[in-house]
């Protein structure tokens, strides 16, 4: 091209897309999207020239476009390395699935399944039969229903059992779970009428007793989940609430939030009410999440008395909240680890909770050694991990973290976040802390490599 116009020195869209750097990328993104990105980049270059800048070199343009095409080719939702030490990290997808759960999803989703087919009868079956036997076996419940998530489970219960009628709940349990999910809001949306009793810190059985009336549909207990009250605090026992509800012919519904089948105390954690304990205390319906302490897929699990579960199952809203075959298969595989008694070895969340301090220290030392060999200053220091996910607030597990102290911890943490795969670390005391507890063993190499490249370049 002749002429002195700097604009004439810019390549055409076609010539730019033909650059060897972009060869596999254009195909990955799709031709139209690639053309769109190339045009936008050339527009930017023309604007820069208008401001008096020199036209960019052909190879530089191609390099920038290659980065943009790579970014466009990446899925929006993708794996990250969780080095925060928060085991059930709601922002990072909560519970990682077990090998068995992933294999079950793969088996059931790559072809057809008996999702709604009765194999013995050779006719239409119900998706609601799956996972029920496992849940019954593990919890001792009469019946069970799995829906999309626990917020949906609570909503369905209130709608089906308390529409236009009163639900009695303690003022100490009118909690906000996170992500804007507030118990009073969900009650209002369901069409149930909130009847709050007691005070923020103290609610007595007699408070519930006084509130009972013609309009009462049920008594609801909600796990406080993400905060803890200490000091001058009281709540009636679940057994007392159950006795009161039953004396008036009403159901007691217990929203456990996280819900666990295993006793948390042997792991050095506070007591977290188990699903079995609530049922043994007489709760008519107990609801909990599939992807918190259970360590399975996102789901809302309801267990309890058959007459109530059946009413929920028949409600039209159940259809709107139903789960798909991938959720059910992952859940069944997760549940069967509990029934076998292998949850602490098979389910990642429990493996992380059960990890010994010595094994974590050993891993941290291994990371630090490799980092130092590559020229990154790193120390190994005592720290704490958290369970997270709105369970066991304030409870921590002792751990050892790798600590990197660059000139700017915030800048290193930001670089790690946009690394591929993204590495999410904690910033504390102007240092970057990486906790091995939540990093899957197969991610060790990628983690060390990512830190080295972000620090050393």
Ligand X SMILES: *Cc1c(COP(=O)(O)O)cnc(C)c1O
What residues make contact with ligand X under the rule CB under 6 A?
Answer: 149-151, 154, 177, 181, 222-223, 225, 255, 257-258, 289, 300, 390
Of 222 and 318, the one with the shorter C-beta distance to ligand X is 222
Q: Which residue, among 202, 235, 201, has the nearest Cα to 219 in the 3D structure?
A: 235
Of 203 and 399, the one with the shorter C-beta distance to ligand X is 203
Q: From CA 386, how far away is CA 315, in angstroms rounded?
A: 38
Of 11 and 389, the one with the shorter C-beta distance to ligand X is 389
Q: How far is the CB of 392 from ligand X (least distance, A)?
A: 11
Of 85 and 389, the one with the shorter C-beta distance to ligand X is 389
At 226, list the tokens: 């993400």
Q: How far is the CB of 390 from ligand X (least distance, A)?
A: 4
Q: How far is the CB of 177 from ligand X (least distance, A)?
A: 4
Find where tokens 């794996």 sit.
79
Q: From CA 238, how far away is CA 245, in angstroms rounded?
A: 10
Of 150 and 329, the one with the shorter C-beta distance to ligand X is 150
Q: How far is the CB of 371 from ligand X (least distance, A)?
A: 36
Q: How far is the CB of 181 from ligand X (least distance, A)?
A: 6
Q: From CA 379, how far away is CA 368, in angstroms rounded?
A: 6
Q: Which residue is nearest to ligand X (CB)?
A: 257
Q: How far is the CB of 406 from ligand X (least distance, A)?
A: 36
Of 157 and 197, the one with the shorter C-beta distance to ligand X is 157
At 24, list the tokens: 């596999």
Q: How far is the CB of 9 from ligand X (least distance, A)?
A: 56
Spell 421-443 as b/e; 16+ CB within 10 A means b: eebbbbeeeebbbbbbbbbbeeb
Q: Which residue, among 137, 126, 87, 130, has the nearest Cα to 353 in the 3D structure?
A: 87
DSSP secondary structure string for all residues of 147-185: ES-HHHHHHHHHHHHHTTSEEEEEGGG--EEETTEEHHH
For 257, what's the count of Cα atoms within 13 Å in the CB-facing half-sphere? 24
Of 255 and 332, the one with the shorter C-beta distance to ligand X is 255
What are the residue ranges of helices labelled H in 256-392? 275-280, 306-314, 316-320, 325-340, 343-346, 348-354, 357-373
Q: How far is the CB of 153 from ligand X (least distance, A)?
A: 8
Of 144 and 151, the one with the shorter C-beta distance to ligand X is 151
Q: From CA 313, how far away is CA 128, in angstroms rounded?
A: 8
Of 338 and 367, the one with the shorter C-beta distance to ligand X is 338
- Within 8 A by CB and 6+ apart from 246, the residues are 252, 282
Q: At what angle do helices 325-340 and 132-139 cross, to 10 degrees?
A: 30
Q: How far is the CB of 258 from ligand X (least distance, A)?
A: 6
> CB-based burial of residue 36 (10 Å sphere; 0-12 exposed, 13-18 middle, 19+ buried)?
middle
């Amino acid at each position: 091209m002749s002429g002195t116009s700097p604009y004439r020195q810019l390549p055409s869209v076609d010539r730019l897309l033909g650059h060897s750097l972009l060869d596999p990328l254009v195909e990955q993104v799709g031709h139209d999207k690639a053309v769109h990105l190339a045009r936008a980049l050339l527009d930017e270059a023309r604007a820069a020239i208008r401001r008096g800048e020199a036209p960019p070199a052909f190879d530089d343009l191609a390099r920038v476009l290659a980065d943009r095409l790579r970014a466009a080719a990446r899925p929006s939702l993708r794996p990250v390395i969780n080095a925060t030490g928060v085991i059930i990290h709601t922002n990072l997808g909560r519970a990682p699935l077990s090998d068995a759960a992933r294999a079950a999803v793969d088996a059931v989703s790559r072809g057809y399944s008996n999702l709604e087919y009765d194999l013995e009868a050779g006719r239409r079956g119900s998706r609601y039969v799956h996972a029920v036997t496992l849940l019954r076996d593990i919890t001792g419940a009469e019946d069970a229903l799995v829906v999309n998530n626990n917020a949906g489970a609570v909503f369905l219960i209130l709608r089906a059992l308390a529409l236009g009628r009163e639900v009695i709940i303690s003022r100490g349990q009118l909690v906000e779970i996170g992500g804007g999910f507030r118990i009073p809001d969900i009650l209002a949306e369901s069409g149930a009428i909130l009847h709050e009793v007691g005070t923020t810190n103290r609610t007595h059985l007699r408070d519930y007793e006084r509130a009972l009336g013609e309009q009462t549909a049920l008594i609801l207990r909600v796990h406080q989940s993400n905060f803890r009250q200490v000091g001058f605090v009281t709540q009636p026992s679940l057994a007392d609430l159950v006795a009161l509800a039953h004396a008036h012919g009403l159901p007691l519904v217990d929203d456990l939030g996280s819900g666990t089948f295993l006793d948390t105390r042997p792991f050095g954690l506070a007591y977290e009410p188990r699903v079995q304990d609530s049922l043994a205390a007489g709760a008519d319906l107990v609801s909990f999440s599939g992807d918190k302490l259970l360590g399975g897929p996102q789901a809302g699990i309801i267990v309890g008395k058959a007459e109530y579960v059946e009413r929920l199952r028949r409600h039209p809203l159940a259809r709107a909240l139903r789960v798909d075959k991938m959720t059910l298969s992952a859940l069944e595989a997760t549940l069967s680890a509990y029934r076998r008694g292998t949850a602490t070895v098979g389910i990642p969340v429990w493996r992380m909770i059960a990890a010994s301090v010595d094994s974590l220290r050993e891993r941290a030392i291994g990371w630090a050694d490799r980092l130092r060999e590559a020229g990154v200053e790193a120390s190994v220091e005592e720290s704490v991990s958290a369970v997270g996910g709105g369970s066991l607030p304030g409870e921590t597990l002792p751990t050892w973290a790798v600590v990197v102290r660059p000139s700017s911890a915030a800048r290193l943490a930001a670089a790690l976040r946009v690394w591929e795969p993204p590495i999410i670390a904690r910033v504390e005391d102007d240092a970057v802390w990486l906790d091995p507890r939540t990093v899957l063993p197969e991610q060790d190499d990628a983690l060390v490599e990512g830190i080295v490249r972000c620090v050393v370049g």
